[in-house]
Structure 1
Amino acid sequence: MKKLDSSFKVIKKKLHEAGFKLTPQRELTVEVLLEKEKDHLSAEEVYLLVKAKNTGIGLATVYRTLEILTELQIINKLTFQDGIARYDLNMNEDKHQHHHLLCLKCGKIEEVKNDMLLEIEMEIEKEYHFIVKDHRLTFHGICNECASNQLN
Protein backbone atom coordinates (compact mmCIF):
# COMPACT_ATOMS: atom_id res chain seq x y z
CA MET A 1 0.00 0.00 0.00
CA LYS A 2 2.91 2.34 0.75
CA LYS A 3 4.22 1.96 -2.83
CA LEU A 4 0.77 2.87 -4.20
CA ASP A 5 0.63 5.97 -2.00
CA SER A 6 4.08 7.19 -3.08
CA SER A 7 3.36 6.42 -6.75
CA PHE A 8 0.04 8.26 -6.45
CA LYS A 9 1.82 11.32 -5.00
CA VAL A 10 4.36 11.29 -7.86
CA ILE A 11 1.57 11.13 -10.46
CA LYS A 12 -0.41 13.88 -8.73
CA LYS A 13 2.71 16.09 -8.70
CA LYS A 14 3.40 15.47 -12.42
CA LEU A 15 -0.19 16.35 -13.31
CA HIS A 16 -0.05 19.51 -11.20
CA GLU A 17 3.28 20.60 -12.71
CA ALA A 18 1.78 20.18 -16.20
CA GLY A 19 -1.23 22.32 -15.26
CA PHE A 20 -3.77 19.50 -14.81
CA LYS A 21 -5.97 19.03 -11.77
CA LEU A 22 -6.47 15.62 -10.24
CA THR A 23 -10.22 15.44 -10.79
CA PRO A 24 -12.17 12.60 -9.15
CA GLN A 25 -12.38 10.88 -12.57
CA ARG A 26 -8.61 11.12 -13.12
CA GLU A 27 -7.99 9.99 -9.55
CA LEU A 28 -10.08 6.84 -10.08
CA THR A 29 -8.33 6.12 -13.39
CA VAL A 30 -4.91 6.47 -11.76
CA GLU A 31 -6.07 4.33 -8.84
CA VAL A 32 -7.10 1.52 -11.23
CA LEU A 33 -3.81 1.73 -13.13
CA LEU A 34 -1.85 1.50 -9.88
CA GLU A 35 -3.96 -1.39 -8.56
CA LYS A 36 -3.64 -3.33 -11.83
CA GLU A 37 -0.05 -2.30 -12.56
CA LYS A 38 1.00 -5.74 -13.84
CA ASP A 39 -2.00 -6.28 -16.11
CA HIS A 40 -1.34 -4.10 -19.23
CA LEU A 41 -4.97 -3.01 -19.44
CA SER A 42 -6.72 -1.71 -22.55
CA ALA A 43 -8.71 1.54 -22.35
CA GLU A 44 -11.94 -0.46 -22.26
CA GLU A 45 -10.66 -2.61 -19.39
CA VAL A 46 -9.61 0.51 -17.47
CA TYR A 47 -13.03 2.01 -18.15
CA LEU A 48 -14.89 -1.06 -16.85
CA LEU A 49 -12.83 -1.09 -13.65
CA VAL A 50 -13.30 2.66 -13.15
CA LYS A 51 -17.03 2.39 -13.89
CA ALA A 52 -17.33 -0.36 -11.26
CA LYS A 53 -16.09 2.21 -8.71
CA ASN A 54 -18.17 5.12 -10.05
CA THR A 55 -20.98 4.52 -12.54
CA GLY A 56 -21.09 8.19 -13.56
CA ILE A 57 -17.80 8.11 -15.48
CA GLY A 58 -17.92 7.93 -19.27
CA LEU A 59 -15.60 6.11 -21.65
CA ALA A 60 -14.53 9.39 -23.30
CA THR A 61 -13.35 10.73 -19.93
CA VAL A 62 -11.23 7.63 -19.36
CA TYR A 63 -9.78 7.91 -22.88
CA ARG A 64 -8.89 11.59 -22.32
CA THR A 65 -7.28 10.77 -18.97
CA LEU A 66 -5.22 7.97 -20.53
CA GLU A 67 -4.08 10.32 -23.30
CA ILE A 68 -3.05 12.99 -20.78
CA LEU A 69 -1.15 10.40 -18.72
CA THR A 70 0.54 9.16 -21.91
CA GLU A 71 1.52 12.69 -22.98
CA LEU A 72 3.05 13.29 -19.55
CA GLN A 73 4.91 9.94 -19.82
CA ILE A 74 3.24 8.69 -16.65
CA ILE A 75 2.04 5.68 -18.63
CA ASN A 76 3.21 4.09 -21.87
CA LYS A 77 0.80 3.21 -24.64
CA LEU A 78 1.79 -0.17 -26.07
CA THR A 79 0.29 -1.98 -29.03
CA PHE A 80 0.95 -5.68 -29.33
CA GLN A 81 0.05 -8.20 -32.01
CA ASP A 82 -3.68 -8.02 -31.28
CA GLY A 83 -3.70 -4.34 -32.32
CA ILE A 84 -5.26 -3.23 -29.03
CA ALA A 85 -3.56 -0.33 -27.25
CA ARG A 86 -2.63 -1.28 -23.71
CA TYR A 87 -1.30 0.89 -20.94
CA ASP A 88 1.72 0.33 -18.77
CA LEU A 89 2.74 2.49 -15.80
CA ASN A 90 6.01 4.34 -16.30
CA MET A 91 7.09 5.04 -12.74
CA ASN A 92 10.78 4.46 -13.39
CA GLU A 93 12.80 7.58 -13.91
CA ASP A 94 15.36 5.44 -15.76
CA LYS A 95 16.28 5.94 -19.37
CA HIS A 96 14.57 2.73 -20.54
CA GLN A 97 11.44 0.80 -20.01
CA HIS A 98 11.16 -2.90 -19.42
CA HIS A 99 10.63 -5.44 -22.17
CA HIS A 100 7.74 -7.84 -22.72
CA LEU A 101 7.08 -11.51 -23.35
CA LEU A 102 3.87 -12.00 -25.34
CA CYS A 103 2.27 -15.45 -25.49
CA LEU A 104 0.89 -16.13 -28.96
CA LYS A 105 -1.62 -18.68 -27.61
CA CYS A 106 -3.27 -17.03 -24.60
CA GLY A 107 -2.15 -13.42 -25.05
CA LYS A 108 -0.59 -13.17 -21.60
CA ILE A 109 2.01 -10.43 -21.31
CA GLU A 110 4.92 -10.76 -18.91
CA GLU A 111 7.52 -8.13 -18.11
CA VAL A 112 11.28 -8.55 -18.35
CA LYS A 113 12.85 -6.03 -15.98
CA ASN A 114 16.48 -6.54 -17.06
CA ASP A 115 17.77 -4.31 -19.82
CA MET A 116 20.09 -6.55 -21.78
CA LEU A 117 20.52 -4.20 -24.71
CA LEU A 118 22.92 -1.64 -23.25
CA GLU A 119 25.90 -2.98 -25.19
CA ILE A 120 23.94 -2.88 -28.45
CA GLU A 121 22.88 0.70 -27.69
CA MET A 122 26.47 1.77 -27.09
CA GLU A 123 27.46 0.16 -30.39
CA ILE A 124 24.67 1.96 -32.24
CA GLU A 125 25.59 5.29 -30.66
CA LYS A 126 29.26 4.80 -31.54
CA GLU A 127 28.86 3.48 -35.08
CA TYR A 128 25.89 5.54 -36.25
CA HIS A 129 26.37 8.64 -34.08
CA PHE A 130 22.78 8.17 -32.99
CA ILE A 131 21.71 9.07 -29.46
CA VAL A 132 19.37 6.34 -28.21
CA LYS A 133 16.70 7.71 -25.88
CA ASP A 134 14.62 4.56 -25.50
CA HIS A 135 13.90 1.21 -27.07
CA ARG A 136 11.10 -1.31 -26.87
CA LEU A 137 11.42 -5.02 -27.25
CA THR A 138 8.71 -7.67 -27.30
CA PHE A 139 9.47 -11.37 -27.53
CA HIS A 140 6.68 -13.37 -29.17
CA GLY A 141 6.37 -17.02 -28.17
CA ILE A 142 4.52 -19.55 -26.03
CA CYS A 143 4.32 -19.09 -22.26
CA ASN A 144 5.18 -21.91 -19.88
CA GLU A 145 1.52 -22.59 -19.01
CA CYS A 146 0.45 -22.93 -22.66
CA ALA A 147 3.49 -25.07 -23.47
CA SER A 148 2.66 -27.38 -20.55
CA ASN A 149 -0.97 -27.65 -21.71
CA GLN A 150 0.18 -28.67 -25.21
CA LEU A 151 2.08 -31.61 -23.73
CA ASN A 152 -0.98 -32.90 -21.86
Structure 2
Amino acid sequence: MSNGATIIREGLEQILRSEGIRITQQRVAILSALAESEDHPNVEELHERARKLNPNVSLATVYRTVAVLEEQKAIIRNEFEGASARYELASKEHHDHLIDVESGDVIEFYSEEIEAIQERIAKEMGYDIVSHRLELYVRKRKN
Protein backbone atom coordinates (compact mmCIF):
# COMPACT_ATOMS: atom_id res chain seq x y z
CA MET A 1 0.00 0.00 0.00
CA SER A 2 1.36 3.42 -0.92
CA ASN A 3 1.99 6.04 1.75
CA GLY A 4 -0.91 8.12 0.41
CA ALA A 5 -3.30 5.16 0.58
CA THR A 6 -2.13 4.40 4.13
CA ILE A 7 -2.88 7.98 5.19
CA ILE A 8 -6.34 7.77 3.59
CA ARG A 9 -7.05 4.42 5.27
CA GLU A 10 -5.99 5.79 8.65
CA GLY A 11 -8.30 8.79 8.17
CA LEU A 12 -11.20 6.47 7.36
CA GLU A 13 -10.38 4.38 10.44
CA GLN A 14 -10.55 7.51 12.57
CA ILE A 15 -13.98 8.35 11.19
CA LEU A 16 -15.25 4.88 12.10
CA ARG A 17 -13.71 5.09 15.58
CA SER A 18 -15.41 8.44 16.15
CA GLU A 19 -18.72 6.68 15.42
CA GLY A 20 -17.94 3.98 17.98
CA ILE A 21 -17.17 1.32 15.39
CA ARG A 22 -14.45 -1.18 16.24
CA ILE A 23 -11.62 -1.42 13.72
CA THR A 24 -11.35 -5.13 12.94
CA GLN A 25 -8.99 -6.75 10.45
CA GLN A 26 -11.97 -7.14 8.12
CA ARG A 27 -12.68 -3.40 8.27
CA VAL A 28 -8.99 -2.63 7.70
CA ALA A 29 -9.21 -4.69 4.50
CA ILE A 30 -12.35 -2.81 3.38
CA LEU A 31 -10.79 0.58 4.12
CA SER A 32 -7.55 -0.43 2.38
CA ALA A 33 -9.50 -1.48 -0.71
CA LEU A 34 -11.33 1.86 -0.68
CA ALA A 35 -8.13 3.85 -0.13
CA GLU A 36 -6.41 2.09 -3.03
CA SER A 37 -9.34 2.46 -5.45
CA GLU A 38 -8.66 4.56 -8.48
CA ASP A 39 -12.08 3.81 -9.91
CA HIS A 40 -15.63 3.86 -8.56
CA PRO A 41 -16.31 0.41 -7.10
CA ASN A 42 -19.76 -0.81 -6.18
CA VAL A 43 -20.27 -2.75 -2.94
CA GLU A 44 -19.76 -6.12 -4.60
CA GLU A 45 -16.48 -5.01 -6.21
CA LEU A 46 -15.33 -3.54 -2.92
CA HIS A 47 -16.18 -6.82 -1.18
CA GLU A 48 -14.21 -8.78 -3.77
CA ARG A 49 -11.16 -6.51 -3.39
CA ALA A 50 -11.33 -6.61 0.42
CA ARG A 51 -11.57 -10.43 0.38
CA LYS A 52 -8.28 -10.53 -1.55
CA LEU A 53 -6.73 -8.77 1.45
CA ASN A 54 -8.68 -10.75 4.06
CA PRO A 55 -10.83 -13.74 3.01
CA ASN A 56 -13.00 -13.36 6.14
CA VAL A 57 -14.62 -10.08 5.02
CA SER A 58 -18.38 -10.46 4.82
CA LEU A 59 -20.63 -8.60 2.42
CA ALA A 60 -22.72 -7.40 5.38
CA THR A 61 -19.64 -5.77 6.95
CA VAL A 62 -18.89 -4.00 3.67
CA TYR A 63 -22.47 -2.66 3.53
CA ARG A 64 -22.34 -1.46 7.15
CA THR A 65 -18.92 0.16 6.73
CA VAL A 66 -19.90 1.93 3.51
CA ALA A 67 -23.14 3.18 5.10
CA VAL A 68 -21.28 4.80 8.01
CA LEU A 69 -18.64 6.34 5.74
CA GLU A 70 -21.34 7.72 3.46
CA GLU A 71 -23.31 9.10 6.41
CA GLN A 72 -20.14 10.82 7.66
CA LYS A 73 -19.51 12.21 4.15
CA ALA A 74 -16.14 10.46 3.86
CA ILE A 75 -17.24 8.77 0.66
CA ILE A 76 -19.64 9.80 -2.07
CA ARG A 77 -22.35 7.54 -3.40
CA ASN A 78 -22.81 7.87 -7.15
CA GLU A 79 -25.96 6.43 -8.66
CA PHE A 80 -25.28 6.38 -12.35
CA GLU A 81 -28.21 5.59 -14.61
CA GLY A 82 -28.84 1.86 -14.99
CA ALA A 83 -26.12 0.70 -12.57
CA SER A 84 -25.71 -0.12 -8.92
CA ALA A 85 -24.38 2.60 -6.61
CA ARG A 86 -20.66 3.26 -6.94
CA TYR A 87 -18.44 4.93 -4.37
CA GLU A 88 -15.48 7.27 -4.34
CA LEU A 89 -13.55 9.12 -1.68
CA ALA A 90 -15.01 12.52 -0.84
CA SER A 91 -11.54 13.99 -0.45
CA LYS A 92 -10.96 14.08 -4.22
CA GLU A 93 -10.88 17.36 -6.09
CA HIS A 94 -14.06 18.34 -7.95
CA HIS A 95 -14.50 16.43 -11.19
CA ASP A 96 -17.21 15.29 -13.55
CA HIS A 97 -17.91 11.84 -14.98
CA LEU A 98 -18.14 10.11 -18.34
CA ILE A 99 -20.05 6.84 -18.04
CA ASP A 100 -19.53 4.29 -20.81
CA VAL A 101 -23.01 2.84 -21.39
CA GLU A 102 -21.62 -0.37 -22.86
CA SER A 103 -18.84 -1.26 -20.41
CA GLY A 104 -20.06 0.60 -17.33
CA ASP A 105 -16.62 2.24 -16.98
CA VAL A 106 -16.63 5.56 -15.14
CA ILE A 107 -14.03 8.08 -16.29
CA GLU A 108 -13.30 11.20 -14.25
CA PHE A 109 -12.51 14.44 -16.02
CA TYR A 110 -12.21 18.14 -15.27
CA SER A 111 -12.77 20.97 -17.73
CA GLU A 112 -12.18 24.61 -16.84
CA GLU A 113 -14.22 25.55 -19.90
CA ILE A 114 -17.28 23.58 -18.70
CA GLU A 115 -16.92 25.00 -15.19
CA ALA A 116 -16.77 28.55 -16.57
CA ILE A 117 -19.84 27.99 -18.77
CA GLN A 118 -21.83 26.66 -15.80
CA GLU A 119 -20.82 29.66 -13.67
CA ARG A 120 -21.75 32.07 -16.46
CA ILE A 121 -25.16 30.47 -17.01
CA ALA A 122 -25.98 30.49 -13.28
CA LYS A 123 -24.86 34.13 -12.96
CA GLU A 124 -26.87 35.22 -16.04
CA MET A 125 -29.94 33.62 -14.48
CA GLY A 126 -29.30 35.32 -11.13
CA TYR A 127 -27.89 32.36 -9.20
CA ASP A 128 -24.70 31.21 -7.50
CA ILE A 129 -23.81 27.54 -7.88
CA VAL A 130 -23.87 25.80 -4.51
CA SER A 131 -23.07 22.34 -5.82
CA HIS A 132 -23.28 20.46 -9.07
CA ARG A 133 -22.45 17.24 -10.80
CA LEU A 134 -22.13 16.50 -14.48
CA GLU A 135 -22.57 13.01 -15.87
CA LEU A 136 -22.11 12.34 -19.57
CA TYR A 137 -23.32 8.95 -20.78
CA VAL A 138 -21.12 7.93 -23.68
CA ARG A 139 -20.35 5.16 -26.16
CA LYS A 140 -16.97 4.61 -27.83
CA ARG A 141 -16.87 5.86 -31.40
CA LYS A 142 -16.62 3.26 -34.10
CA ASN A 143 -13.99 4.31 -36.66
State whether TM-score is above 0.5.
yes
Give the SS at the match of 1:76: strand
Contact 1:7 1:91 in 2 (8 A): no
Contact 2:95 2:108 in 1 (8 A): yes
Matched, 1:110 2:107: yes
Give the SS at the match of 1:117: helix
Counterparts of 1:42 and 1:24, CA distance in 2? 21
Aligned to 2:60: 60
Aligned to 1:86: 86
Give the SS at the match of 1:41: coil
Query: Could you list the runs of 5+ residues in structure 1 that have no partner in the other structure?
Result: none
Aligned to 2:45: 45
Aligned to 2:136: 139
What is the CA distance between 1:125 and its match in structure 2? Answer: 7.0
Counterparts of 2:24 and 2:126, CA distance in 1? 45
Match of 1:99, as an amino acid? D
* 1:2-41: CA deviation from partner (whole Å, max 9, x where unpaired): 2112222322333334443433222111100122x22211
Counterparts of 2:38 and 2:74, CA distance in 1? 15
Aligned to 2:118: 120
What is the CA distance between 1:104 and its match in structure 2? Answer: 1.9
Match of 2:72, as an amino acid? L
Give the SS at the match of 1:136: coil
Aligned to 2:77: 77
Identity of counterpart residues, as a percentage? 27
How many residue pairs are counted as aligned between the two chains?
141
Contact 2:119 2:128 in 1 (8 A): no
